[in-house]
Amino acid sequence: MIEKTLMEQSQKRTFGLTNQNLRSMHSPKRKIWALLLFSIVIFLTGACKKEKNSFSKEDVKGAEKLIGIEFSKNNMDTLYPYLQENRAGFDSLRKYPLDNEVFPAVRFDPLPRNFVPRIQDDFPVWEVPSDVELPKQTSALAFYTITQLASLIKNKKITSLELTEFFIERIKKYDSVLQSTITITEELALKQAKKMDQELANGKYRGILHGIPYGVKDLMAVEGYKTTWGAEPYKNQELAVTATVVEKLQTAGGVLIAKLVSGSLARGDVWFGGKTKNPWDVEEGASGSSAGSGSATSAGLVPFALGTETLGSITSPSTKNGITGLRPTYGRVSRHGVMPLSWSMDKVGPMARTVEDCAIVYSIILGEDPKDQTTTNLDFGFDPKKDFKSLRVAYLKEDIEKDTTEHKENLKKAVETFKNIGVDLTEIELPTAIPFKSFDIILRAEAGAFFDDLVRSGAVDSMVEQDQKSRANSLRQSRFIPAVEYIQANRHRQVLIEQMHDVIKDFDVIISPTFGNKQLLITNLTGHPVISVPTGLDDEKHPTSMTLVGNLYDEASILLLAKAFQEATAFDELHPEGY
């Protein structure tokens, strides 16, 4: 239709000619004009038929400037047809849809050469005390630990249904301010809670999570409920799958009460419904992207939650909201049913009040999963009664001294606390001779691949944030990352893996600032486990933290040392006022 219109317009407008004045010309002249007109029409028709996304050699020369490379004219002449073939290949790829669960054939392996995993003790049979009483003020239940709540349920001092209704009411009461929750899974929660109460009445006790409410970041699918990924284009999305980690918690007796805010497509604390707030200071955001998990746990809307981390999304909101967050080793916890952002960097982990709470949840969600081929069957466990003084502990003294964040003073005090409880510390430094600026393209390229359809369809334009640092902009620019540079960055990543292994192999734990140095970037690239632990409040009464880094697949050591710190301090017992 467009071609026909253009042809008609060209016949009418070209040199002011019409059929009538053509007929008035002498025959030879009429033939010449007719041929000229025909040629122009053919040219215009060809232009219309030309693929709208075709490119010229000049376009390629412009792309050379973006990439930082230049070819000669002769090279360009031979290169151009090859690029056209590449483009045809790209087009053919896009005709075949990919399911969310399809993982790239090339998988990330965090293991350095000659790596020998540490021998792990089994997890304990989690003890449930019998002497926990209901508080005089019911609201105090909001800040009970998993162990305390488990005692109340097991000893029938409160029912799972009562506890579930209590936390759901808290979400309804406070979430209009905090904006931490996307969906309250009330129908499912009440059904699960009643089932747990009936089982307990019949003498069946599933374990320490029996009847305990919790929430998950809304990157995790739950069949029958929306999984929005925090983003406008997906706010009505329902997936016919339940994430493995949710299934494991349900099997252990946990009661899912809420799907909590993820910053839009796992970026920051802004989502399609607003901005998640920090309960310590509602003028501030909760940080991201596990913003809802951090805010809701801190404010006592859930006893614990699951978050995900690719480049700080558990440790940052755990810090900001004053809770404890464990990011396990890459591959320790299944990501089946969880939105991919970066296949080679994503991890799932618990966010809770205490180290022990994190250990309890971690012991349930970890393990090999045939639905996630990156998961491992390496030894795992945690012995909380082991002597923490036997740990070989290092600390990043220079990084701590150079820290310019509000965390510095409390971190220095934390180092002194470790010394006072009998921990010997050795000064070390992290790798430095690495092209750190190159590594972000790994995350961005992988995210761009998963969200390719979103970008090409234009639906990315409907996301709430559209500024330079937004996820939408990050996804668009991912189309300009050359495959060669992505591979090169991963080669340098392998060098970093080896260098980091050389730094940590003689130690069990490294004490590090959470922010202000390269630790967060390095450990997310290498896959090492970390735990973010509260260290108090700064001058503005905002939470501060430190990070403990462990060897690959040795969560036990960082859990043990972090638990010792929390037993020597009371920072994990601090809660925001007004909740």
CATH number for the domain harbouring residue 148: 3.90.1300.10
Q: Which helix (H) or strand (E) holds 93?
A: helix 73-93
286 and 352: one domain?
yes
51 and 167: one domain?
no
Low-confidence ranges of the chain (pLDDT < 70): 1-53
Closest C-alpha to 439, from 363, 376, 491, 511: 491
Considering the entire predicted model, what is its pTM?
0.89
81 and 224: one domain?
no
84 and 213: one domain?
no
Per-residue pLDDT at 40: 52
List, in sequence order, every residue forming a beta bridge with 322; answer none if it has no partner. Answer: none
The number of folded domains in the chain is: 2
Q: Is residue 37 part of a domain?
A: yes
Among 36, 67, 93, residue at a domain's last position:
93
Per-residue pLDDT at 46: 46
In angstroms, the CA 365 to CA 211 distance is: 16
354 and 229: one domain?
yes
In angstroms, the CA 548 to CA 550 distance is: 7
Per-residue pLDDT at 31: 52
Strand order in the sheet with 543-550: 181-184, 255-260, 213-217, 304-309, 347-352, 324-327, 530-537, 543-550, 509-512, 393-395, 425-427
212 and 331: one domain?
yes
In angstroms, the CA 100 to CA 336 distance is: 10
371 and 248: one domain?
yes
Q: Is residue 451 part of a domain?
A: no
Q: Is residue 111 part of a domain?
A: no
In angstroms, the CA 225 to CA 182 distance is: 11
149 and 12: one domain?
no
Q: Is residue 578 part of a domain?
A: no
Per-residue pLDDT at 561: 98
483 and 393: one domain?
yes
262 and 401: one domain?
yes
In angstroms, the CA 328 to CA 110 distance is: 13
Rg of the chain over CA atoms, in angstroms?
A: 29
Domain coverage including residue 21: 2-93
Length of the chain: 579
Query: How far out from the chain centre does Cα 504 lie?
Result: 25
250 and 329: one domain?
yes
Among 31, 65, 93, residue at a domain's last position:
93
Q: Is residue 371 part of a domain?
A: yes
Q: Is residue 551 part of a domain?
A: yes
Mode of pairing for the β-strands spanning 277-278 and 281-285: antiparallel
